[in-house]
């Protein structure tokens, strides 16, 4: 796959593919590190998981990051 780096005066810094949730995969927490920076997203289906539960999961993920650092 060839990814264009320059877009006029803009330069692409990073390109991250994010996995989405599906009815078969209700929760996805992809994590990627690039050049010493960490990015993560939480993808979920509102039909199957409530926001309060997702907030708790987010807090737990951040706890794991703290332990790993």
pLDDT tens column, 2-58: 778 888 898 888 776 766 667 777 777 878 787 788 888 888 888 888 889 989 988
Query: Would you say the pTM of this structure is higher than 0.85?
Result: no
Locate the domains of the chain by residue range: 6-68
Length of the chain: 69
55: left (phi over 0), alpha (psi -120 to 50) or beta: alpha
- As beta bridge partners, residue 12 has none
Looking at residue 18, what is its pLDDT? 67
């Amino acid at each position: 796959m060839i990814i264009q780096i320059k877009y006029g005066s803009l330069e692409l810094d990073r390109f991250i593919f994010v996995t989405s949730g599906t009815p078969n995969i209700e929760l996805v927490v992809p994590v990627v590190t690039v050049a010493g920076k960490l990015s993560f997203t939480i993808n979920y289906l509102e039909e199957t998981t409530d926001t309060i539960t997702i907030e708790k999961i987010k807090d737990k993920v951040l706890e794991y990051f703290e332990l790993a650092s």
